[in-house]
Structure 1
Amino acid sequence: MGGVAVRLTKRIVDQAQAGPKPSFVWDSELRGFGLRIEPTGTKSFMLRYRTRDAGPSGPKRFFTIGRFGPLTVDQAREQAKAVLGAVSLGQDPAADLTRDRAEQTFGSVAELFLAEHVRLKRKAGTHADYESLLRLYALPTLGKRKLTDVTRGDLSRLHASLNDRPYRANRLLAVIGSLYSFAEKRDLVPEHYNPARRIEKFREDQRERYLSRDELERLGAALQLGETQGLPWQLDPKKPASKHLPKAENRITILSQPVAAAIRLLMFTGARLREILELRWEYVDLERGLLLLPDSKTGRKTIVLNSTARAILAGLPQQGPFVVSGKSLDQPRADLNKPWEAVRMHAGLSGVRLHDLRHTFASIGAGASLGLPIVGKLLGHNHPQTTARYAHLDADPLRQAAELIGGKLAEAIGGAHREGRAPAME
């Protein structure tokens, strides 16, 4: 395996150019230590050696230390020295690594990925989402398979089986791809081994849904009824009625004050669900009309409260640290699924999600020509392109311009358009 020999430095590694085939630059000071440059431009540190009992003419072993970037030249050199030390004691690190890889299953690495990467480096909501996707869809079919036995065909079939849920299918593929990237960094799979790559994803239709004035009125009426008299159950006609159901007059859903307040706050602030459910009283500044969130999906965030949102919060009793408590006062409520389903069905809002209240908040701001930068600030968007989805709703300036141009044209052609005649051409 050829290649030039020079003392490896950061400058030498930076200047190394990729060719049509893998190439190597060997270190002139530490025997066997080198750099491999892939045709893609990826640069990895490696070590070649012979085991102690193989002799000078025995077969060479190759051990990948890691990629340049995450590893500096000096760090890779020190790791190479440690590996050579193990070799001098009679060990065979390359064979050990091969054996370890063969013993790793998809399920065992998934547990490692969740515990040592996702839980430590991602937000709690992201961790819960990753874990749910893996446990529901990937582990039942792939969990006992060897990690390196999983193929692109396996993942393509798994992805295709979720074709009725394109967003979830694409998200699962992304999570599995991240798992294999983690495994590669841990040397649990060979470099560039990622069967989740180059699988065509499903097309995802835009899921924005904006409530009309009539729908908002029905939603408000349902919330008010749920707080006072309760919402009558609407039994699913596809499911047989259970003999254990309560009497018809008792089939109602009562909305607690915090639950109804949470739904109203989602509507009047444009906040995300977790931002409201995990809202602590210490983050609420009613005097200045602000929610001061130390962390959110986009980091530290300030939500400006309008007078209605302030009144909602002011009317809630402060019991425990959370605005919307769960089963115990020291825990936040986990979700709003059941109460929202009751409200949604009673109001006749088929297919409307809680997140659509956020879209509705944004659409009203955009339709009132407040400007997309202002709307983006209210929503806590970090990037303008995130708010750009509402650009088509910012219609008033365009309508005014169209009316102005139309008026000028009508004035120029006189009364011909009112009489149904085409204007004469000069």
Structure 2
Amino acid sequence: MTEVSTKFKFTKSDLAAIEKTNKRVWYRDTQTAGLAMCVTPAGSKTFYVIHRVAGMGRKGNTEFLRLGSFPDDFTVERARDAARKLLKTLNSGESVRAAVSAKKDELNVEEVWEHWKTERSVGPNPDQPIKRSWKKDQRLYDCHLKGRSKRRASEITTTVASRIFRDVTVASGPVEANHVKRLARAMWNHAIQRHGLAAQNPWTTIKDNHERSREEWVTPAQMPALFKAIDSAADRDAADMIRLCLFTGARSGNVKAMRWDAIDLDTAIWTIGSAHHKNKTINSIPLAPPAVEILRLRIGLNDEWVFSAATKSGHMMDARKGWSAILTAFSKELKLPEVPDLRIHDLRHTTASWLVTQGVSLPMVGKLLGHTTSVTTAKYAHLAIDPIREVLNRTAAAMGAIAGKESVSHE
């Protein structure tokens, strides 16, 4: 490569063409006074503003203020604009170190996360976390944001955030990237509102990746095989829990934490209190005869919990092992080439889908499932084709009958 002068008009192509050497090299922009780039032996390229403090003699006190890396944080034009603004605000005799010191007091990414975790996720009592999904937040941070933990929050520009989002999309999929973006956006908003972070939220302008909604459910033809697999399960607690998920349409977390004092077997009603419901509303679920039969057989096993377990909470927390065994038996019954991608939560979709195909209205299905908006239930609308066909057939027949009478009256 032709040797590049250390003083030239910065352009994207010229800066990108600079190769690393065995020592640190400084380059100066001839268009914007004070703008410089430092290239390290490791190959990193960082924009700086070089400023001589007034009133310090001819030699003065030259100070350096880091702007950000090229091209991750700053393009050439953005670096020029930032340098001009910074030099304009520095009054005669003002030390750039004061600005650097102020910047050091700014929150870094790790501190933004810690504020979010201690104030919005876990809270003051770790035994009763504010967010049930705080462990998921921890995983998302550890996997995708922790690598930038020491960087200032203001250094995570929209460009950097977009690059993080893109990299997660490629490496871990579009849904994971959406979750990372939503967590980061909430973290930055919290730091801005509660901790005086003087920065715009870089995550707000990023559009979510398209997510294909899951529509996995057990069809009528598959249901006998599923019940046969459940009957063969060695883990009877898991088997009963899964049956109740099917018969009630409730979330598996609520079924695992069923309390006897919330169940009235005489009226066959199970009431989930607002404190235990995802949408913070009271939800009363009618219990079908098969569900009542399961519950009656479990009377006496524990005075407090329907599914007691040796856990910190006292009730069942994890049924993945039992569910995995049932899925394996299910796939063998159907002679499938591999175990299907069915989750316990898909049992809830199964119940809702069956209700809709049986002609139950979407508002009624939404009420049973505890949905607060009709939008959530609307995803089952396409399954209502048979009830709609039946009504349409009756309507067409009625129209045809009237048309027949009219033709007779005109003869």
TM over 0.5: yes
Q: Deviations over 1:333-357 (max 9, x none)?
A: 3222222122112212511111111
The answer to whether 1:113 aligns with 2:120 is no
SS at the partner of 1:303? strand
Contact in 1 for aligned 2:357/2:387 (Cα 8 Å) = no
What are the equivalent positions in structure 2 for 1:260-299 lying under 5 Å apart? 260-294=239-273, 295=275, 296-299=277-280
Q: Quote the residue 1:183 is aligned against.
A: 191
Matched residue, 1:351:
341
Corresponding residue for 1:322? 305
Counterpart amino acid of residue 304 in structure 1: P
Corresponding residue of 1:218: 225
Question: Per-residue displacement from partner, 1:311-330 (whole Å, max 9, x unpaired)?
Answer: 11221243263322333485
> Residues 230-249 of structure 1: matches in 2 within 5 Å?
none
Match of 1:132 among 123, 126, 139: 139
CA shift in 2, pair 1:395/1:98, >3 Å: farther
The question of 1:389 aligning with 2:364 is answered no
Question: Residue 117 of structure 1 aligns to which amino acid in structure 2?
Answer: R
Question: Partners in 2 of 1:394 and 1:123 — Cα distance?
Answer: 38
Whether the 8 Å contact between 1:363 and 1:393 is mirrored in structure 2 is yes
Moved more, 372-381 or 144-153: 144-153
User: Is 1:199 matched up with 2:206?
Assistant: yes
Q: Does 1:155 align with 2:161?
A: yes
Q: 1:162 to 1:183 in 2, by over 3 A?
A: same
Q: Secondary structure at the match of 1:211?
A: coil
Cα separation, 2, equivalents of 1:165 and 1:326? 35
Question: CA separation of 1:97/1:342 partners in 2, compared to 1, >3 Å: closer, same or farther?
Answer: farther
Distance 2:374 2:352 in 1: 13
Deviations 1:27-55 (A, max 9, x none): xxxxxxxxxxxxxxxxxxxxxxxxxxxxx
In structure 1, what is the Cα distance between the partners aligned to 2:293 and 2:102? 64
Change (3 A) 1:172 1:320: farther
- 2:216 counterpart (209, 212, 220): 209
Q: What is the RMSD computed on CA atoms of the aligned residues?
A: 2.9
TM-score (norm 1): 0.61
Query: Aligned equivalents of 2:214 and 2:198: distance in 1?
Result: 39
Q: 1:123 to 1:381 in 2, by over 3 A?
A: farther
Aligned to 1:313: 295
Whole-angstrom distance in 1 between the partners of 2:247 and 2:101: 57
Residue of structure 1 equivalent to 2:318: 335
Counterpart Cα distance in 1 of 2:324 and 2:201: 40
Deviation of 1:155 after TM superposition, in Å, equals 2.6
Change (3 A) 1:287 1:123: farther
- 1:221-260 Cα offsets, whole Å, 9 max, x none, are 111111xxxxxxxxxxxxxxxxxxxxxxxxxxx31x2221
Amino acid in structure 1 at the alignment position of 2:110? G
Matches within 5 A, 1:62-81: none
Checking the alignment, whether the CA contact within 8 Å between 1:322 and 1:329 is kept in structure 2 is: no
**DSSP 3-state at the match of 1:115:** helix
Cα drift, residue 204 of structure 1: 0.5
Q: Structure 1 150/261 Cα, relative in aligned 2: closer, same or farther at 3 Å?
A: same
Q: Distance in 1 between matches of 2:363 and 2:327?
A: 31
Per the alignment, residue 238 of structure 2 pairs with 259
Deviation readout 1:362-414 (Å, 9 max, x if unpaired): 11111111211111111111112221111122234421244246557888999
Whole-Å Cα distance in 1 between the matches of residues 345 and 154 of structure 2?
A: 39
- Matched residues in 1 for 2:327 and 2:287: separation? 25
How many equivalent pairs are there?
A: 290
SS in 2 for 1:194: coil
Asked if 1 retains the 8 angstrom alpha-carbon contact of 2:257 and 2:307, the reply is yes
TM-score by length of 2: 0.63
The amino acid across from 2:188 in the alignment is Y
Uncovered stretches (5+) of structure 2, i.e. residues with no partner: 1-97, 332-338, 405-411
Structure 1 contact 101–189 (Cα < 8 Å) conserved: no
The answer as to whether partners of 1:209 and 1:356 remain within 8 angstroms in 2 is yes
CA offset at residue 197 of structure 1?
1.5
Which of 359, 383, 394 in structure 2 is aligned with 1:369?
A: 359
Is 1:104–1:188's contact at 8 Å kept on the other side of the alignment? no
CA contact (8 A) 1:322 1:330 kept: no
Residue identity over aligned pairs, in percent, reads 27
Report the CA distance between 1:279 and its aligned residue: 2.2
Specify the SS of the correspondent of 1:161.
helix
Deviations 1:7-43 (A, max 9, x none): xxxxxxxxxxxxxxxxxxxxxxxxxxxxxxxxxxxxx
